[in-house]
Amino acid sequence: MCGRWRQRVRLQAHCGAEDQGRESFAQNRMLSTSQIEALETAAAASAVIRVEDMHKYYELGETRVHALRGVSAEIQRSEFLAIMGASGSGKSTFMNILGCLDRPSSGRYLLEAIDVSKHDKRALALIRNQKIGFVFQGFNLLARTTALENTELPTLYTKIEKAERRKRAVEALAMVGLADRAEHYPSQMSGGQQQRVAVARALVNRPSILLADEPTGNLDSRTSVEIMEVFQDLNDKGLTIVMVTHELDIAQFAKRVMVFRDGKLRKDDAVLNRPRASEVLKTLPTLED
Ligand SMILES: Nc1ncnc2c1ncn2[C@@H]1O[C@H](COP(=O)(O)OP(=O)(O)OP(=O)(O)O)[C@@H](O)[C@H]1O
Ligand SMILES: [Mg+2]
């Protein structure tokens, strides 16, 4: 990538949807380096996530696994980021730290300007519950519990009143297009519907960021694109999304793709001409076909 193009991509990544005007403003006027740096500093202050020279070691008896080897990155509000890389390259380790499920061995992690690296487990749990929604490959729904009750679950650990909790769960199910499945049990829903309940459950505490580790790993092609439709829709409404995937065609639905190799960030590019999942779905066969 040539220098000017890289600057453009960095600016693009730094500017939120509402700031698209600023991006074209900068491009049209060919801003000086110092002006671009000033813009970038302002954008950095509004970063949802900022990671600086992050390392993670796992101690396994005598051996030490160096899972992350100096990762630095910034993720802005309303970004939709896909993380790719070979098995063992550090993707889940990175996501677990972003999600406050684990702490870096060294380096800094700022989540909405809070220095997460300095907090203990108890504080991390609080931060996690307030700011982060998780979606995993296996949907992890409770079998004897309806879609609505599954969605409501994370609110039980908050001080929100019962009526409000129910209202939020109903809203979250509606956001993923499952308002009419509230009373269904997991066994009465398709894989894609179960994953959508898992997304609703991740959204119910109104997090700042949605983290998804291989959310389409257990789904067929069409159902995977349906989940991407939900993600693009939520992202259009301003939700920041970070998603790990092994599939390039799924990563292309994001706005930006990072590639990890051997614990390092090797590529970080904006997605050009990304497809709309809703359009792609029109070209894919349905079950009835
Ligand atoms: N809890 C752990 N204890 C020891 N080593 C670990 C632990 N978790 C991960 N590792 C090691 O750290 C490295 C990175 O693992 P990680 O799970 O982040 O990879 P990944 O990119 O998510 O792979 P995959 O695509 O297979 O999910 C691997 O070498 C792995 O064996
Ligand atoms: Mg993984």
* Number of Cβ atoms within 10 Å of the Cβ of 20: 11
- From ligand 1's centre to the CA of 289, what distance in Å? 40
> Does 21 share its domain with 140?
no
- For ligand 1, atom 17: residue with the closest CA: 92
> Does 186 share its domain with 262?
yes
DSSP letter for 47, please.
E
Residues with CB under 6 A from ligand 1: 58, 60, 65, 67, 85, 87-93
> Is residue 276 assigned to a domain?
yes
Q: Tell me the average pLDDT across 240-251.
A: 97
> Is residue 286 assigned to a domain?
no
**Average pLDDT over all residues of the chain:** 87
Half-sphere exposure of 242 (CA within 13 A, CB side): 25
> Does 32 share its domain with 157?
no
Query: Which segments of 44-105 are extended strands (E)?
Result: 47-60, 63-76, 80-85
> Does 157 share its domain with 212?
yes
Q: What is the pLDDT of residues 80-114, one digit of tens each?
A: 999 999 999 999 999 999 999 999 999 999 999 88
> Is residue 53 assigned to a domain?
no
User: Ion ligand 2 — residues with CB under 5 Å?
Assistant: 92
Q: What is the CATH number of the domain that holds 155?
A: 3.40.50.300
> Does 139 share its domain with 275?
yes
pTM of the entire predicted model: 0.84
Number of H helices, E strands in the chain: 11, 10
> Does 195 share its domain with 82?
yes
Q: Tell me the average pLDDT across 277-283.
A: 96
> Is residue 260 assigned to a domain?
yes
> Does 151 share its domain with 224?
yes
> Does 30 share its domain with 89?
no
Overall number of domains in the chain: 2
With 80 as the cut, is the pLDDT of residue 148 above it? yes
- For ligand 1, atom 6: residue with the closest CA: 58
Cα–Cα distance measured from residue 275 to residue 11, given in angstroms and rounded to the nearest whole number: 21
Q: Which domain holds residue 27?
A: 3-36
* Number of Cβ atoms within 10 Å of the Cβ of 272: 8
* pLDDT of the residue at 189: 96
Lowest mean pLDDT among 73-77, 103-107, 154-158, 254-258: 154-158
